[in-house]
Amino acid sequence: MFREIFIHVPKTVMAQDLGTNNNRMTRLIDHVEQFTVAELYRIAELLEINYEVLFNLVHSQHFGIVKPMKKNMKNIN
Instruction: Please report the pLDDT score of residue 65 as a whole number.
Output: 84
Q: How many CB atoms lie within 10 A of CB 18?
A: 18
Domains held by the chain: number = 1
- C-alpha 26/C-alpha 3 separation (Å) is 10
Instruction: Please report the pLDDT score of residue 76 as a whole number.
Output: 46
Strands annotated E in 1-77: none
Instruction: Please report the pLDDT score of residue 13 as a whole number.
Output: 96
- C-alpha 69/C-alpha 31 separation (Å) is 24
The pTM of the full predicted model, rounded to 2 decimals, is 0.80
Q: What is the pLDDT of residues 5-45, one digit of tens each?
A: 999 999 999 999 999 999 999 999 999 999 999 999 999 99
Domain that holds residue 37: 2-75
CA distances, 32 to each of 15, 24, 54 (Å): 14, 11, 11
Whether the predicted pLDDT of 67 surpasses 70: no
Q: How far is CA 1 from the centre of its chain?
A: 6
- 43, 50 contact by CB (below 8 A): no
| Domain CATH for 24 | 1.10.260
Q: What is the pLDDT of residues 38-65, one digit of tens each?
A: 999 999 999 999 999 999 999 999 999 8
